[in-house]
Amino acid sequence: MGEEKPVTEKLDGQNIAFSVVNGEIRFARNKGHVKNGGDRALTVKGMMDKFKDRGGLERAFVGAARDLETAIKVLPDDQVKEMFGNGSKFMSVEIILPDSTNVIPYDKNVLVFHGTIEYLSLIKARQRNFIERLIDLKMNLV
């Protein structure tokens, strides 16, 4: 057998990745959005336009975009630069909202962080362990 790894529950929400580019939060729904440091990634307004009049999907994606934008604004600039590399690092999150169910119904709103992907070039990507980064950041804040 191989190395044992922690077990996680399979989630069935809506996935999105986000970064900060030139001080502004940006969102990626596809590979094109993360190319060139996220220069084509969606802003909060872009998310609002993309999901306008789409019911639960609009509430899930736009609500998450606004919540994440609010959370990022309270972080110190140096921490934001370290975490997101000005668009070279994107955090992947699962948006779980009861009224935007895919297959599995949930009874509460949740944002689940999957991890951070650092895009070293247009093609090559390296997965980072998000939990280790959070621990490092927590230690720096204490």
CATH number for the domain harbouring residue 104? 3.30.470
pLDDT of 34 reads: 87
Residue 9 lies in a domain: no
Residue 4 lies in a domain: no
How many domains does the structure of the chain reveal? 1
Nearest to 118 by CA among 66, 65, 82: 82
Residue 8 lies in a domain: no
Q: Which residues pair with 125 in a beta bridge?
A: 119
- pLDDT tens for the chain, 142 residues long, are 577 777 666 667 888 999 999 999 999 998 889 888 888 999 999 999 999 999 989 999 999 999 999 999 999 999 999 999 999 999 999 888 877 766 677 778 777 877 888 776 443 444 445 545 555 555 555 4
DSSP-derived secondary structure for the chain: ------------SEEEEEEEETTEEEEESSHHHHHHHHTT-B-HHHHHHHTTT-THHHHHHHHHHHHHHHHHHTS-HHHHHHHHGGGTEEEEEEEE-GGG-SSS--SS-EEEEEEEEEESSSS-EEEE-HHHHHHHHHHHH-
Q: What whole-number distance in Å separates Cα of residue 53 and Cα of residue 99?
A: 14
122 lies in which domain range?
14-141
pLDDT of 43 reads: 97
Residue 2 lies in a domain: no
pLDDT of 123 reads: 38
Residue 7 lies in a domain: no
